[in-house]
Amino acid sequence: MIKTGSEDISMGKISVPVYNDYCPQTLFLYGTYDENGNADFGLFCWFSYTYDGQMGVMCCIGGEKGTKSNIHRTGIFSANIVTEALLPSADYLGNNKGFDPSKVDFTVGKGVVLDVPVVEESPVVFELEVKQFIPLDGGEVMLCNIRNVLQDESLASCDETVADKLTRIAPVKTTCHSYFGFKGDYKGAWGEPMKGLSTSSSN
Ligand SMILES: Cc1cc2nc3c(=O)[nH]c(=O)nc-3n(C[C@H](O)[C@H](O)[C@H](O)COP(=O)(O)O)c2cc1C
């Protein structure tokens, strides 16, 4: 029980099926090149950080995916933070395999240190090199060296607080098969934001 002045709030817990509901995760678009040298982007949230003398990234890809086979072939990829402005395109890429640039509303650029495609409109981009693949039972964990971090110049400004910068770039979170804006506002269930794309809703 927590005492809050006049009332007691019950804090009983129940066991639920294994899942990560109510644990918000940051979204990233992973950029790779396919075997023909064409850019490919997929949406991912099983992404976090490691520390082993220097900061690294760990991520998990479940099952067979184009993104996974591209990373296996090249050993490198970009992770582009998803903002509210990028959400319709990101949602589309999370619900459709492969990549057709005419179906999304962002610009594909190039990494600075690694030969990886990046999302020009994403304010924070990691250029990643896999140092260890850990195959599981169909899924795979990848431990990555961060070879470069590309950030919008405006994030280096001292004229704006960190809170104001985050509010401005507005990274999206996901949990419970739903998207939430930086301030916690509901942005739709998985599969909904992409309906706002003029080009993709019919797919
Ligand atoms: C919100 C959201 C988050 C996702 N996160 C992951 C993830 O972390 N790992 C994963 O394997 N798939 C994840 N997916 C599924 C991939 O985005 C999906 O399989 C996509 O088609 C992969 O693109 P590709 O087939 O071009 O590689 C996610 C999907 C959504 C909608």
Each residue's pLDDT tens digit, 37-66: 999 999 999 999 999 999 999 999 999 999
Paired tokens of 31: 């950029």
Q: Radius of gyration (Cα) for the chain, nearest Å?
A: 19
How far, in Å, from the CA of 42 to the mean position of ligand 1?
6
CA dihedral 119→83→201→34, nearest 10 degrees, is 30
- The answer to whether 116 and 110 are in contact (CB under 8 A) is yes
Q: Whose CA is nearest to atom 9 of ligand 1?
A: 61
- The answer to whether 143 and 132 are in contact (CB under 8 A) is yes
Q: What is the mean pLDDT of the chain?
A: 94
- Determine what percent of the chain falls in helix, strand and coil, rounding each to the nearest 5: 20, 40, 40
Q: Is 14 exposed, middle or buried (0-12, 13-18, 19+ CB in 10 A)?
A: exposed
State residue 202's pLDDT score: 41
Our answer on whether the CB atom of 66 is closer than 6 Å to any ligand 1 atom is yes
Q: Which of 33, 41, 45, 173 to mutate to test the pocket of ligand 1 (most atoms within 8 A of CB)?
A: 45
Paired tokens of 137: 């039972």
Our answer on whether the CB atom of 92 is closer than 6 Å to any ligand 1 atom is no
Give ∠ CA 33-54-23 in degrees, rounded to 5.
70
Q: Which of 65, 73, 200 to mutate to test the pocket of ligand 1 (most atoms within 8 A of CB)?
A: 65
Each residue's pLDDT tens digit, 77-86: 999 999 999 9
How far, in Å, from the CA of 43 to the mean position of ligand 1?
5
* Ligand 1 nearest-atom number relative to CA 66: 27
Cα–Cα separations (whole angstroms), residue 151 to 118, 194, 197: 12, 26, 26
Each residue's pLDDT tens digit, 154-202: 999 999 999 999 999 999 999 999 999 999 999 999 999 999 998 644 4
